[in-house]
Amino acid sequence: MIDSLQLLIAQTAPQLKLRWLTPEPKEPRPLRGETPAHGSQSLIGSLNCIHPNRLQVIGHPEQIYLTELGSTAFTETIEKLFADRPAAVLFSDDIEPDAALREVAERTQTPLLSSSLGDQDLINHLRYFLTHALAERETVHGVFIEVLGMGVLLVGNPAVGKSELALELITRGHRIIADDAPRFARIAPEVLEGSCPETLRDFLEVRGLGILNIRAMFGEGAVRRDKTLNLIIDLQPLDHQQLESIDRLSGSLTAMNILGVAIPKIVMPVAPGRNLAILVEAAVRHQILRIRGYDAGVDFIDRQARAISIDRPDPPALRR
């Protein structure tokens, strides 16, 4: 996990054309502050001394603002900037900081960096990278697969048939992301992105066959690195009591909470003779229609209600 300034720069420097203006710190410099006040700070943004960012970016507008300040106001602003102990101060557009700013940075041991990118490009790239790198993560037992463009997580008890179902879906043209231990990251308030640990990538375990390399067997088009999680399908052995409790019109749609995000979940009974691959594809198509605002169960009820109202005879007229 990227939790220090040095690791961030090591991974993004070539793409963002970043270079150190001061010596690289020998000790890891945390991106998130160690105090509660630092914990509530924004990670990156343009120069802001009122609500300081952990990574303060100075572009042409901020540079013009600083140069137009009087000597006293300039000194106070710079002192305030470094008193908040940012993780680093970044200069865009190859701006070179003046001697006074360098002196305060050296005194407070605050790293300075420069990039040839514009300020907004630099902020947008780093914000996107940090959103993914520092996102909350959780590993869930199951098989994560892309079906008809939707990320589907197959869960259920061991030996219920998750891997066999995933293998059949792959042969039908769908793509696997992760087997056994997909890892999900919350990259937005209502968005989970799933990926596969590097050591497990491309592999699928099927009882009786052992470990299969899906990329080698089916080609590049059968695997995918990551995908947004859209639907969870819980495979459950057929139980007549549970089967009777399922709503025949609306099915068993509920929700499962992962990292504080409610993901739609469908309980799918498993029994001999059921073609689960076709059922999974149908469940995904049905969920796509729900997302578009159409519910077949509601449509069916409305159609029956209209038919009943048409067939019902008019009440007899009242005699006077």
Model pLDDT, residue 296? 87
Return the structure tokens found at 69.
């300040």
Model pLDDT, residue 41? 72
Q: Which residues pair with 138 in a beta bridge?
A: 184
H-assigned helices in 96-191: 99-107, 119-133, 162-171
Choice among 89-93, 105-109, 129-133, 155-159 with the minimum mean pLDDT: 129-133
H-assigned helices in 172-275: 214-218, 240-245
User: Is 285 a residue of the active site?
Assistant: no
Q: At residue 243, does pLDDT exceed 70?
A: no
Rounded Cα distance between 178 and 208, Å, is 19
Model pLDDT, residue 238? 74
User: Is 226 a residue of the active site?
Assistant: no
Residues annotated in the binding site, as ranges?
Answer: 163, 205
Model pLDDT, residue 273? 78
Q: 260: which residues sit within 8 A by CB, 6+ positions away?
A: 186
Model pLDDT, residue 95? 92
Rounded-to-10 torsion of CA 137, 142, 145, 149: -70
Model pLDDT, residue 305? 87
Rounded Cα distance between 230 and 190, Å, is 11
Rounded-to-10 torsion of CA 128, 134, 136, 142: 80
User: Of the listed 51, 141, 172, 285, which one is catalytic?
Assistant: 141
User: Closest by alpha carbon to 156, among 264, 240, 237?
Assistant: 237
Other CB atoms within a 10 A radius of the CB of residue 59 amount to: 22
Query: pLDDT tens digit string along 182-238?
Result: 999 998 889 999 999 999 999 999 988 999 999 999 999 999 999 999 999 999 887
Residues annotated in the binding site for Mg(2+), as ranges?
Answer: 163, 205
Q: Does domain 5-133 fall into CATH 3.40.1390.20?
A: yes
* Domain 136-304 -> CATH class: alpha beta
User: Of the listed 93, 102, 121, 180, which one is catalytic?
Assistant: 180
User: Of the listed 248, 292, 312, 319, which one is catalytic?
Assistant: 248
The percentage of the chain sitting over the pLDDT mark of 70, rounded to a whole number, equals 91
The pLDDT of 289-294, averaged and rounded, is: 92
User: Closest by alpha carbon to 169, among 282, 56, 25?
Assistant: 282
Q: At residue 163, does pLDDT exceed 60?
A: yes
User: Is 141 a residue of the active site?
Assistant: yes
Q: How confident is the model at residue 313 (pLDDT cuts 50, 70, 90)?
A: low
User: Of the listed 54, 84, 119, 162, which one is catalytic?
Assistant: 162
Query: pLDDT tens digit string along 20-78?
Result: 999 998 888 888 766 545 555 788 999 998 889 999 999 999 999 999 988 899 999 99
User: Is 290 a residue of the active site?
Assistant: no
With b meaning 16 or more CB within 10 Å and e meaning fewer, what string describes 237-268?
A: eeeeeeeeeeeeeeebbeebebeebebbbbbb
Residue ranges of domains in the chain: 5-133, 136-304
The pLDDT of 128-135, averaged and rounded, is: 87
